[in-house]
Copies of this chain bind each other. A is one copy, B any other.
Amino acid sequence: MTFVEKIVSAQQTNNSLLCVGLDTDSRKIPDALKDERDPVLAFNKAIIDATADLACSYKLNLAYYEANGSKGLDTALATLEHIPKHLFSIADVKRGDIGSTSDQYAIAYQQAMPFDCVTLSPYMGFDSVETFLKDQTKGAFFLGLTSNPGARDFQYLDLASGKKLYEHVTDTVSSWNTTSKNCGLVVGATKPSELEALRHRAPELPFLVPGVGAQGGSLADVMNANGKGIALINVSRGISYASTGSDFKEAARKAAMTIVEEMQSLM
């Protein structure tokens, strides 16, 4: 299956756009799991098991794993292996480097850890992303307009051409997408009016939308703005930390179910 087919198939399985973010802080594991050999892995497996019939995708932000050194990468790989194969897996790494180095990142997150796709920072330009455009079955979501306050510092800059920088990035990613139709765009949920405009600007690009919940984005606003486009809507802390007690698994399931029911009512 191609990148887009994989996303659509995963979304149809559970009639869901929900991507569950596994940004697991090893210092915030519920007490009940602290004696496990790998508490973060035990936590991730529990969250996956609790949501695998509700989510279409899981996203691991590698920063949380790198913070635990080599052991953290073992945890990330074992977590990836626990994600059901019919759902969609994302390595949220936001990498970007010169061509020869990008080749190494592709080995890391397409082969050593065989995720379905990665997130990338586009700012080093074409040769920094080219290696990720080769394989139609693997994809890349590029940072378009991010959900954080600092997005204002550069992404909104007015260019001499009349575009904003994030609009120019979006147009460039659309041009890269002609190679293998395996590009997507990260668009923050905290900016629904910009999301709506970007959806019209790049109707073919799947959007990865973080920022619902802890960061303040509204699910209804995102879904209305996105319309009929392909979108994965990510929720991390709102699900995995719905409870920090021994009922964390049930609370995660309940939180995911509430979100998916709202999604289905809005579809």
Contact = CB atoms under 8 A, between A and B. Distances in A.
Interface of A: 23, 25, 61, 63-64, 66-74, 77, 94-99, 101-102, 104-105, 107-109, 112-113, 121-129, 143, 146-155, 157-161, 165, 168-169, 172, 215
Contacts of A95: 63, 94
- Which has the most chain B C-beta neighbours within 10 Å: A104, A105, A112, A169? A104
26 contacts: A23-B101, A61-B97, A63-B104, A63-B105, A66-B112, A67-B105, A68-B112, A69-B73, A69-B74, A69-B77, A69-B108, A70-B70, A70-B74, A94-B96, A94-B121, A96-B121, A121-B123, A125-B152, A125-B154, A125-B155, A127-B148, A127-B150, A154-B169, A157-B159, A157-B168, A165-B165
A72 B99 CA distance: 20
A25 B123 CA distance: 24
A164 to B, nearest CB: 10
Nearest to A111: B67
